[in-house]
């Protein structure tokens, strides 16, 4: 099968996690850049990447990379690309998103309309048609321009991959599934270790952890745009990837994953989400304030997304909240704590400086991932578990 360049966008600061995921799937990394990883894969790889990768928002099939400093150059360079290889005569195509950084071409709407015209002109010449019905499969095009270098890709995923299909009910200000998965992967947590989220909201951290523990592919319960691109990705590729995903699921595992929240309605939503994800039997959800956080066992993990105080009136409550979290963490025996927050005074009120602190952009919001590493369990204790 032909090899394609595939682009996996990710959160800034989490490229290493994305790279490791792709390598674990068995694909060759071509390059790692800010906010994206490019790798080589065949048609089957398009299906596998969409089904199995936990930390990317979408999989782009790279059509080309061109240099353009004027709109005329952009038109000609776009027209020169082999669009007929990807888009059939009845394909519906449009430039769904264009972003530009440090480039002479800075108007997204102009970039979109000029590139659409260029693709139409190319396909007119190749297909000897003057008008395209565009009533077939969809081929959304995404464009990113950095210093006049234009990267053009077809979106194989469609709806963003953070939408796994399980989160029908969401609490306020949720963390995305892809970011939650990436943050868990930044910790040493494994499925046989304890994990507690004392501010679980709609249950994203516990659910993503349970899916990892049971080896449930994140894309198993959803569809992808490229499933309709049968000339590029045969249906057998999707069927084989889904069959492999179902085969890998481990239904017989035991876990100690818990999610707490002070809001009973939110806990009810979290349970529903876990049920839709197929992991409700692996998670214990309970209405409980952070002041009552406790666990009898050693060597567990707190992984959480506590309130940031987005609204001014909420900020006054944060010092007491973070102070309580710090106290409850210190009362746990030999635990680790990992939390993401935009609250600048988090360490001060937690009462301890983090061992590591990683800056991560959650959308446009600058956040910090504070990492408090507890001791490792003795080897003998690990073997007994």
Query: In this structure, what are the phi and psi dihedrals at residue 345, rounded to the nearest 5 degrees?
Result: -95, 20
Residue 171 lies in a domain: no
Residue 118 lies in a domain: yes
Q: What's the chain's length in residues?
A: 385
In three-state form (DSSP H/G/I as H, E/B as E, the rest C), the secondary structure along 130-178 is CCCCCCCCEEEEEEEEECCEEEEEEECCCCCCCCCCCCCCCCCCCCCHH
| pLDDT of amino acid 311 | 58
Q: What is the pTM of this model?
A: 0.94
Q: How far apart are the two ends of the chain, measured CA to CA in Å?
A: 44
Residue 225 lies in a domain: no
pLDDT tens per residue, range 206-264: 999 999 999 999 999 999 999 999 999 999 999 999 999 999 999 899 999 999 999 99
373 CB-near residues (< 8 Å, 6+ apart)? 188, 336, 355, 356
Burial (CB count <10 Å: 0-12, 13-18, 19+), residue 251: exposed
Q: Band of the pLDDT at 362, cuts 50, 70, 90?
A: confident
| pLDDT of amino acid 267 | 96
pLDDT tens per residue, range 70-115: 999 999 999 999 999 999 999 999 999 999 999 999 999 999 999 9
Q: Is the pLDDT of residue 382 over 90?
A: no
- More confident position, 356 or 168: 356
> Does residue 207 sit in the same domain as residue 150?
no
Q: Is the pLDDT of residue 171 over 70?
A: no
Domain extent for 93: 4-155
| pLDDT of amino acid 157 | 98
| pLDDT of amino acid 83 | 98
> Does residue 140 sit in the same domain as residue 272?
no
Query: 208 vs 45, 260, 268, CA distance in Å?
Result: 23, 15, 17
> Does residue 27 sit in the same domain as residue 87?
yes
> Does residue 192 sit in the same domain as residue 48?
no
| pLDDT of amino acid 305 | 95
Q: Band of the pLDDT at 1, cuts 50, 70, 90?
A: confident
> Does residue 21 sit in the same domain as residue 140?
yes
Domain count, the chain: 2
List the CATH number of the domain containing 356: 3.40.50.150
List the CATH number of the domain containing 138: 3.30.2130.30
> Does residue 67 sit in the same domain as residue 189?
no
Q: Band of the pLDDT at 169, cuts 50, 70, 90?
A: low
């Amino acid at each position: 099968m032909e090899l394609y360049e595939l682009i996996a966008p990710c959160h800034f600061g989490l490229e290493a996690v994305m790279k490791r995921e792709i390598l674990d799937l068995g694909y060759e990394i071509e390059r790692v850049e800010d906010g994206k990883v490019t790798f080589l894969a065949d048609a089957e790889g398009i299906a596998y990447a969409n089904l199995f990768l936990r930390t990317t928002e979408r999989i782009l099939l790279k059509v080309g990379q061109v240099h353009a400093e004027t709109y005329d150059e952009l038109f000609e360079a776009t027209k020169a690309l082999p669009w007929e290889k990807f888009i059939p005569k009845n394909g519906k195509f449009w430039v769904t998103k264009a972003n530009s950084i440090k480039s002479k071409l800075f108007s997204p709407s102009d970039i979109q309309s000029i590139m659409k015209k260029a693709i139409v002109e190319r396909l007119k010449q190749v297909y000897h048609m003057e008008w395209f019905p565009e009533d077939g499969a969809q081929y959304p095009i995404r464009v990113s321009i950095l210093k006049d270098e234009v990267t053009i890709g077809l979106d194989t995923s469609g709806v963003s991959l953070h939408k796994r299909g399980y989160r029908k009910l969401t609490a306020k200000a949720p963390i995305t599934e892809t970011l939650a998965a990436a943050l868990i992967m930044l910790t040493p947590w494994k499925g046989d270790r304890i994990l507690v989220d004392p501010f679980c909201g709609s249950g994203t951290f516990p659910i993503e952890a349970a899916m990892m523990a049971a080896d449930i592919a994140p894309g198993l319960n959803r569809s992808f745009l490229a499933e309709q691109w049968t000339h590029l990705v045969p249906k057998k590729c999707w069927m084989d990837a889904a069959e492999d995903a179902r085969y890998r699921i481990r239904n017989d595992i035991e876990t100690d994953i818990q999610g707490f929240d002070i809001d009973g309605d939110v806990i009810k939503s979290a349970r529903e989400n876990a049920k839709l994800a197929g992991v409700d039997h692996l998670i214990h959800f309970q209405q409980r304030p952070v002041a009552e956080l406790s666990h009898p066992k050693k060597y567990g993990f707190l992984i959480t997304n506590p309130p940031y105080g987005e609204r001014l009136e909420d900020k006054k409550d944060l010092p007491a909240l973070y102070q309580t979290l710090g106290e409850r963490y210190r009362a746990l025996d030999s635990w680790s704590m990992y939390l993401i927050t935009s609250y600048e005074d988090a360490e001060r009120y937690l009462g301890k400086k983090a061992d590591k602190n990683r800056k991560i952009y959650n959308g446009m919001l600058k956040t910090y991932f504070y990492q408090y590493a507890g001791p490792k369990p003795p080897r003998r204790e690990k073997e007994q578990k």
